[in-house]
Amino acid sequence: MLMLKTNNYINIDLKVKDQYIYRIISIERLIELFSNKKNLLVSPRKWEDPFENFILKSKARLSDGKIVDFGFRDNFYGQCWTRHKASDAMWRIYSPESSGVRIRTTIPKLANSLAVGLHPWQNVQCFIGKVKYLNNKKMMDFANTVFKGKINPEAYELAKTLLIKRPAFKHENEVRLLYFEKESGKSGSIYEYDIDPHSLIDQIMIDPRLDCSEFRKVKADIQSKTNFKGRILRSLLYAPPENMVFPFGL
Protein backbone atom coordinates (compact mmCIF):
# COMPACT_ATOMS: atom_id res chain seq x y z
CA MET A 1 0.00 0.00 0.00
CA LEU A 2 1.33 3.43 -0.95
CA MET A 3 1.86 5.67 2.07
CA LEU A 4 2.91 8.69 0.02
CA LYS A 5 1.08 11.03 -2.32
CA THR A 6 1.80 11.13 -6.03
CA ASN A 7 3.87 14.32 -5.66
CA ASN A 8 6.29 12.49 -3.39
CA TYR A 9 7.26 10.21 -6.28
CA ILE A 10 9.20 12.67 -8.44
CA ASN A 11 9.92 11.92 -12.11
CA ILE A 12 8.55 8.41 -11.53
CA ASP A 13 5.83 6.77 -13.60
CA LEU A 14 3.56 5.23 -10.97
CA LYS A 15 2.46 2.61 -13.48
CA VAL A 16 5.93 1.06 -13.25
CA LYS A 17 6.78 2.21 -9.74
CA ASP A 18 7.56 -1.31 -8.55
CA GLN A 19 10.70 -1.55 -10.64
CA TYR A 20 13.85 -2.72 -8.88
CA ILE A 21 16.57 -0.35 -7.73
CA TYR A 22 20.08 -1.24 -6.62
CA ARG A 23 22.86 0.04 -4.39
CA ILE A 24 26.46 -1.19 -4.12
CA ILE A 25 27.92 -1.07 -0.61
CA SER A 26 30.80 -2.67 1.24
CA ILE A 27 30.33 -6.02 2.95
CA GLU A 28 31.09 -4.29 6.25
CA ARG A 29 28.29 -1.80 5.65
CA LEU A 30 25.92 -4.65 4.72
CA ILE A 31 26.60 -6.48 7.97
CA GLU A 32 26.21 -3.23 9.91
CA LEU A 33 22.86 -2.61 8.19
CA PHE A 34 21.51 -5.96 9.38
CA SER A 35 23.06 -5.59 12.82
CA ASN A 36 22.00 -2.01 13.62
CA LYS A 37 18.79 -2.09 11.55
CA LYS A 38 19.24 1.55 10.58
CA ASN A 39 19.43 3.19 7.19
CA LEU A 40 21.64 6.22 6.82
CA LEU A 41 21.09 9.28 4.64
CA VAL A 42 23.71 11.99 4.28
CA SER A 43 23.68 15.71 3.68
CA PRO A 44 24.31 16.68 0.03
CA ARG A 45 27.28 18.61 1.39
CA LYS A 46 29.04 15.25 1.56
CA TRP A 47 28.42 14.41 -2.11
CA GLU A 48 31.44 14.91 -4.34
CA ASP A 49 29.89 16.78 -7.25
CA PRO A 50 30.09 20.55 -6.46
CA PHE A 51 26.89 21.05 -8.48
CA GLU A 52 24.89 19.04 -5.92
CA ASN A 53 22.21 21.21 -4.30
CA PHE A 54 23.54 24.18 -6.27
CA ILE A 55 20.12 25.87 -6.44
CA LEU A 56 19.46 25.93 -2.71
CA LYS A 57 23.11 26.86 -2.06
CA SER A 58 22.69 29.91 -4.30
CA LYS A 59 20.93 33.18 -3.55
CA ALA A 60 17.25 33.93 -4.08
CA ARG A 61 15.90 37.19 -5.51
CA LEU A 62 12.60 38.23 -3.94
CA SER A 63 9.85 40.11 -5.79
CA ASP A 64 11.08 43.39 -4.29
CA GLY A 65 14.58 42.76 -5.63
CA LYS A 66 16.09 41.81 -2.27
CA ILE A 67 18.76 39.06 -2.40
CA VAL A 68 18.56 36.45 0.37
CA ASP A 69 19.79 32.97 1.24
CA PHE A 70 17.50 29.95 1.17
CA GLY A 71 16.83 29.28 4.85
CA PHE A 72 16.39 25.54 4.31
CA ARG A 73 19.44 24.91 2.13
CA ASP A 74 20.87 22.33 4.55
CA ASN A 75 17.62 20.64 5.55
CA PHE A 76 17.76 17.78 3.05
CA TYR A 77 19.40 14.37 3.37
CA GLY A 78 19.67 11.81 0.63
CA GLN A 79 20.70 8.32 -0.39
CA CYS A 80 21.62 7.32 -3.92
CA TRP A 81 20.47 4.15 -5.70
CA THR A 82 20.62 3.12 -9.34
CA ARG A 83 18.25 1.57 -11.86
CA HIS A 84 21.15 -0.23 -13.54
CA LYS A 85 20.88 -3.96 -13.01
CA ALA A 86 24.35 -4.68 -14.42
CA SER A 87 26.97 -1.95 -14.77
CA ASP A 88 30.72 -2.36 -15.08
CA ALA A 89 31.20 1.30 -14.16
CA MET A 90 29.17 1.05 -10.95
CA TRP A 91 31.03 -2.04 -9.74
CA ARG A 92 34.41 -0.41 -10.38
CA ILE A 93 33.45 2.88 -8.75
CA TYR A 94 31.71 1.55 -5.65
CA SER A 95 33.55 -1.76 -5.22
CA PRO A 96 37.12 -0.82 -6.17
CA GLU A 97 38.68 -3.67 -4.18
CA SER A 98 36.14 -6.25 -5.39
CA SER A 99 34.76 -6.29 -1.85
CA GLY A 100 31.34 -4.82 -2.47
CA VAL A 101 27.85 -6.26 -2.72
CA ARG A 102 24.79 -5.03 -4.56
CA ILE A 103 21.55 -4.91 -2.60
CA ARG A 104 18.14 -4.81 -4.28
CA THR A 105 14.77 -3.39 -3.32
CA THR A 106 11.89 -1.57 -5.03
CA ILE A 107 11.07 2.12 -5.19
CA PRO A 108 7.94 1.96 -2.96
CA LYS A 109 9.58 -0.36 -0.42
CA LEU A 110 12.47 2.06 0.00
CA ALA A 111 10.19 5.11 0.17
CA ASN A 112 7.83 3.48 2.67
CA SER A 113 10.72 2.34 4.86
CA LEU A 114 11.36 6.03 5.55
CA ALA A 115 7.76 7.26 5.44
CA VAL A 116 6.40 4.84 8.04
CA GLY A 117 8.33 6.50 10.87
CA LEU A 118 7.39 10.05 9.85
CA HIS A 119 3.59 9.82 10.19
CA PRO A 120 1.72 12.17 10.00
CA TRP A 121 4.37 14.29 8.25
CA GLN A 122 5.51 11.72 5.68
CA ASN A 123 4.18 13.69 2.71
CA VAL A 124 6.18 16.74 3.80
CA GLN A 125 9.40 14.97 4.74
CA CYS A 126 9.83 11.91 2.51
CA PHE A 127 10.46 11.90 -1.25
CA ILE A 128 11.89 9.56 -3.83
CA GLY A 129 12.72 10.45 -7.40
CA LYS A 130 14.66 9.71 -10.53
CA VAL A 131 17.50 12.05 -11.36
CA LYS A 132 17.24 14.05 -14.59
CA TYR A 133 20.47 14.66 -16.48
CA LEU A 134 20.49 18.16 -17.95
CA ASN A 135 23.06 20.17 -19.87
CA ASN A 136 24.14 23.53 -18.48
CA LYS A 137 21.50 25.52 -20.36
CA LYS A 138 18.65 23.27 -19.25
CA MET A 139 19.96 23.29 -15.68
CA MET A 140 19.91 27.10 -15.65
CA ASP A 141 16.44 27.14 -17.22
CA PHE A 142 15.23 24.78 -14.49
CA ALA A 143 16.86 26.88 -11.74
CA ASN A 144 15.24 30.06 -13.07
CA THR A 145 11.73 28.61 -13.22
CA VAL A 146 11.37 26.01 -10.44
CA PHE A 147 10.31 28.60 -7.82
CA LYS A 148 8.95 31.27 -10.16
CA GLY A 149 5.78 32.82 -8.75
CA LYS A 150 5.97 30.70 -5.60
CA ILE A 151 6.52 32.63 -2.39
CA ASN A 152 6.13 29.49 -0.26
CA PRO A 153 7.10 26.50 -2.41
CA GLU A 154 5.91 23.06 -1.40
CA ALA A 155 8.45 20.63 0.04
CA TYR A 156 8.25 18.41 -3.06
CA GLU A 157 9.24 21.42 -5.19
CA LEU A 158 12.32 21.87 -3.03
CA ALA A 159 13.08 18.17 -3.39
CA LYS A 160 13.05 18.50 -7.18
CA THR A 161 16.16 20.68 -6.99
CA LEU A 162 18.14 17.68 -5.70
CA LEU A 163 17.14 15.54 -8.65
CA ILE A 164 19.10 17.17 -11.46
CA LYS A 165 22.67 16.41 -12.50
CA ARG A 166 24.92 17.03 -15.46
CA PRO A 167 25.11 14.52 -18.35
CA ALA A 168 28.62 13.47 -17.25
CA PHE A 169 26.92 11.46 -14.48
CA LYS A 170 24.30 9.82 -16.67
CA HIS A 171 25.97 6.42 -16.25
CA GLU A 172 24.68 6.38 -12.66
CA ASN A 173 21.01 6.21 -13.76
CA GLU A 174 20.17 7.39 -10.29
CA VAL A 175 17.18 7.21 -7.98
CA ARG A 176 17.37 9.20 -4.76
CA LEU A 177 15.62 8.80 -1.44
CA LEU A 178 15.26 12.24 0.18
CA TYR A 179 14.39 13.32 3.71
CA PHE A 180 13.46 16.93 4.52
CA GLU A 181 14.01 18.17 8.07
CA LYS A 182 11.09 20.54 8.61
CA GLU A 183 12.38 22.03 11.85
CA SER A 184 15.16 24.61 11.77
CA GLY A 185 18.28 24.14 13.86
CA LYS A 186 18.32 20.35 13.50
CA SER A 187 20.46 20.05 10.38
CA GLY A 188 23.57 17.87 10.61
CA SER A 189 25.63 15.69 8.32
CA ILE A 190 23.60 12.45 8.61
CA TYR A 191 20.06 11.25 9.24
CA GLU A 192 19.37 7.71 10.46
CA TYR A 193 16.07 5.89 10.67
CA ASP A 194 14.97 2.41 11.75
CA ILE A 195 14.40 -0.30 9.15
CA ASP A 196 13.75 -4.01 8.88
CA PRO A 197 16.53 -5.00 6.45
CA HIS A 198 14.95 -8.42 5.89
CA SER A 199 11.81 -6.73 4.53
CA LEU A 200 13.60 -3.96 2.66
CA ILE A 201 16.26 -6.02 0.86
CA ASP A 202 15.15 -8.93 -1.31
CA GLN A 203 18.44 -9.92 -2.97
CA ILE A 204 22.19 -9.61 -2.43
CA MET A 205 24.58 -9.80 -5.39
CA ILE A 206 28.30 -10.38 -4.85
CA ASP A 207 31.04 -8.72 -6.92
CA PRO A 208 31.47 -10.36 -10.36
CA ARG A 209 35.27 -10.29 -10.09
CA LEU A 210 35.33 -12.91 -7.34
CA ASP A 211 35.88 -16.49 -8.48
CA CYS A 212 33.48 -19.26 -7.46
CA SER A 213 35.41 -20.37 -4.38
CA GLU A 214 35.74 -16.78 -3.12
CA PHE A 215 32.03 -16.27 -3.76
CA ARG A 216 31.09 -19.31 -1.66
CA LYS A 217 33.20 -18.04 1.25
CA VAL A 218 31.71 -14.55 1.08
CA LYS A 219 28.18 -15.93 0.77
CA ALA A 220 28.62 -18.16 3.82
CA ASP A 221 30.06 -15.24 5.79
CA ILE A 222 27.13 -12.99 4.89
CA GLN A 223 24.57 -15.67 5.76
CA SER A 224 26.17 -16.38 9.13
CA LYS A 225 26.42 -12.70 10.10
CA THR A 226 23.08 -11.43 8.78
CA ASN A 227 20.79 -14.49 8.79
CA PHE A 228 19.55 -13.25 5.42
CA LYS A 229 17.05 -15.72 3.93
CA GLY A 230 16.80 -14.19 0.47
CA ARG A 231 18.88 -15.03 -2.57
CA ILE A 232 22.63 -14.36 -2.46
CA LEU A 233 24.07 -14.57 -5.95
CA ARG A 234 27.32 -13.91 -7.76
CA SER A 235 27.06 -11.37 -10.55
CA LEU A 236 27.68 -12.95 -13.96
CA LEU A 237 28.58 -9.63 -15.56
CA TYR A 238 31.96 -10.95 -16.70
CA ALA A 239 30.97 -14.57 -17.32
CA PRO A 240 31.99 -15.51 -20.90
CA PRO A 241 29.32 -16.97 -23.18
CA GLU A 242 29.38 -20.75 -23.48
CA ASN A 243 28.56 -23.27 -26.21
CA MET A 244 28.01 -20.66 -28.88
CA VAL A 245 28.23 -21.77 -32.54
CA PHE A 246 28.29 -19.35 -35.47
CA PRO A 247 27.92 -20.12 -39.20
CA PHE A 248 31.13 -19.97 -41.23
CA GLY A 249 31.25 -20.29 -44.99
CA LEU A 250 27.55 -21.16 -45.23
Q: Which residues contact 143 (CB under 8 A, 6 or more apart)?
A: 54, 55, 58, 161
**Residue 2 predicted with pLDDT over 60:** no
Chain mean pLDDT for the chain = 87
Distance CA 105, CA 202 (A): 6
Confidence (pLDDT) at 184? 64
Confidence (pLDDT) at 152? 73
CA distances to 38, 105, 113, 133, 177 from 108, rounded to whole Å, are 18, 9, 8, 22, 10
Using CB atoms within 10 A of its CB, is residue 3 exposed (0-12), middle (13-18) or buried (19+)? Answer: middle
Grade residue 58 by pLDDT with cuts at 50, 70 and 90. Answer: low
Grade residue 158 by pLDDT with cuts at 50, 70 and 90. Answer: confident
**Average pLDDT, stretch 122-137?**
95
Distance CA 236, CA 229 (A): 21
Grade residue 225 by pLDDT with cuts at 50, 70 and 90. Answer: very high
Query: In terms of pLDDT, which residue wins out, 71 or 27?
Result: 27
**Residue 239 predicted with pLDDT over 90:** no
Can you give the residue ranges of every domain in the chain? 6-196+206-234
